[in-house]
A and B are shown apart, each in its own frame.
Chain A
């Protein structure tokens, strides 16, 4: 089994382009929403448009979560098929992207829990990660180390803060979309993300991470 890197650059963590986030959050969502609406009404050809609009982002998200291409492919397939099965419940105008992310996240969590008891899986994941990290070029080491420190900080954060940070800063969802994915309020997402930013800022400034 092979794995893929999912370590974003430190710059990405700190200052993702506002335009990029906006485009990713709004532009794609609109075409996906319209296609999903047609698909819910029975236009079977629209599913390809739904796929093209959301699959790249959901797949990237799953790659980051799983660090495993085969598993990410499998979860993407399950996510899209789940949306397909529930197309009749899709209401016109509802945003598709948070729905897709929430399904993908749930499927990942279920898969993770299923595999957590498998010691072989854990050992293999560690070995895969070590192999990927050792293959990086030397000139990337500095930024990688910083990214690694950020990852360590993120890993120590409570799950709620880490996921909020991921959805906002890495996946580029809006606060509203992230709140939908997490099933909570916008203000709760903002608070969780703020706490995550504070922890990361402290580390990148060279200080100790807040306790």
Chain B
């Protein structure tokens, strides 16, 4: 009889179903229950994320699309390129698994979650203050529209990501989900940068930083339930 190598002092090795029976039972259950292959999962991921990004693009275009004025074109390019580089970096760390099925270590994810809004905000302020008048107060633009636009742009890709990874994280589902939220928020920041000319710091905090933080928190709350490994 095939035996699993359990404890060397196993006093009841003969109890219960034999290990050969257990093996046969597990293999039979797996055979009875179809599971998608890598190719099928890849196709599903491309479809879901493609649709989610298309929805975000349509929302952006419906909202008015690219609106550089009254900013100098160079400022728009600087802020967008810098924030895009940061957003890509965040996405690589948050969505990549770092050579392990268990994702990146928690300290990495914590670092990404905490540093993303800070880095994006710092970049925007640094670039804006180099251009006179671009950080002036806009009393009519407190940031609520940017807050709403950021949320609308990010929510569909974020939900898509959470759905694709649902029930799969046995180690730190909440922090993984929080990093997804930070990545979605960073991506929406880049797009909102193309639309919003306001560089006034209170506006940036409410309209640009707050949505990244809110998306991160919301995703962490959802993710602890959605991403958590489920009993088969």
Q: Report A's interface with B, CB cutoff 8 A.
A: 2-7, 40-42, 44, 47-48, 51, 55-57, 59-60, 63-64, 69-70, 72-73, 76-78, 80-82, 84-91, 93-96, 98-99, 102-103, 105-107, 110, 132, 135, 179-185, 188
Contact = CB atoms under 8 A, between A and B. Distances in A.
Interface string B173-213: 00000000000000000000000000000000000000000
Interface residues of B, number: 48
Nearest to A186: B105
Interface of B: 4-7, 9-13, 15-17, 19, 22-23, 25-27, 29-31, 33, 35-42, 97, 99-103, 105-108, 165, 168, 170-172, 229, 231-232
Nearest to B3: A56
A184 B107 contact: yes
Contacts of A91: 97, 101
Contacts of A44: 31
Most buried by B among A5, A76, A183: A183
Contacts of B27: 47-48, 51
Contact of B100 (A5, A84, A98, A107): A98
B21 to A, nearest CB: 10
20 contacts: A4-B11, A5-B10, A7-B9, A41-B39, A42-B37, A42-B38, A42-B39, A55-B4, A57-B5, A59-B6, A77-B22, A80-B26, A87-B36, A88-B38, A89-B38, A94-B99, A107-B170, A107-B231, A184-B105, A184-B107
A159 to B, nearest CB: 14
B126 to A, nearest CB: 31
B232 A180 contact: no
B141 to A, nearest CB: 42
A84 to B, nearest CB: 4
Given A60-B6, A90-B101, A183-B172, A4 B12 contact: yes
B168 A89 contact: yes
Nearest to B27: A48
Nearest to B230: A82
B7 A6 contact: yes
A181 B171 contact: yes
Contact of B101 (A2, A57, A99, A179): A99
A114 B37 CA distance: 32
A87 B172 CA distance: 20
A86 B232 CA distance: 11
B11 A132 contact: yes
Contact of A86 (B9, B26, B168): B168
A2 B102 contact: no
